[in-house]
Amino acid sequence: MELKEPKTQEEFEGYYDLRWRILRYPWNQPRGSEKDSLEDMSIHLILTEEDKILGAGRVHFNSNDEAQVRYMAVEENQQGKGIGGKILSGLEERAKQRGTNYIVLNSRDTAVPFYIKKGYRIIGEAPTMFGTIKHSKMRKDL
């Protein structure tokens, strides 16, 4: 397995496709809804095995101190095998290298236990998405 930043067009297409299939399609959200206006300013990571993308995630910077993780997604049949943890650690490492002091994220309620295991704590509520997915705001000091 290899943890790396997507570089080729094929890697970026596979990366956004995974984000859409895991995080948007189950809630009937159209293609394109898996992206926002910060893609060019973000650090993206994919975890691959023989060129197949098993998981991915993104971090962007809200200020010099604060980074935000978004779009953590692991292929359904690969969840629970440590892949998300590896991607999250990689994003944290890169944020730290840029001088970030802490990371925030908005977690779906179903993913909160994952982030707690990785050292995040709930600091408040975050907006509900697509009318149904409850979110909590979480933070980890680096």
Give the binding range for ligand COA (CB under 6 A) out of 8-16, 24-32, 60-68, 73-81. 73-81
Indicate whether 18 belongs to the interface with ligand COA (CB under 6 A).
Answer: no
Indicate whether 43 belongs to the interface with ligand COA (CB under 6 A).
Answer: no
d(CA 29, CA 124): 26
Give the binding range for ligand COA (CB under 6 A) out of 29-37, 38-46, 60-68, 109-117. 109-117
Secondary structure class of 54 (helix, strand, coil): strand
d(CA 68, CA 58): 8
Near ligand COA by CB under 6 A: residue from 14, 84, 91, 140: 84
Question: Taking the complex as a whole, how short is the minimal distance between the CB of residue 127 and ligand COA, in angstroms?
Answer: 12
Near ligand COA by CB under 6 A: residue from 26, 82, 99, 124: 82
Query: Minimal CA–CA distance to 71: which of 141, 17, 10?
Result: 17
Question: Taking the complex as a whole, how short is the minimal distance between the CB of residue 80 and ligand COA, in angstroms?
Answer: 5
Place of tokens 């993308």: 53
Whether 138 and 123 have beta carbons less than 8 Å apart is answered as: yes
Indicate whether 14 belongs to the interface with ligand COA (CB under 6 A).
Answer: no
Give the list of residues 6+ apart from residue 17 with CB closer than 8 angstroms, or none: none
Cβ-in-10-Å burial (0-12, 13-18, 19+) of 107 comes to: buried
Phi/psi for 81 (5° steps) reads: -115, 10
Indicate whether 74 belongs to the interface with ligand COA (CB under 6 A).
Answer: yes
Question: Taking the complex as a whole, how short is the minimal distance between the CB of residue 87 and ligand COA, in angstroms?
Answer: 7
Question: Taking the complex as a whole, how short is the minimal distance between the CB of residue 93 and ligand COA, in angstroms?
Answer: 15
Indicate whether 110 belongs to the interface with ligand COA (CB under 6 A).
Answer: yes
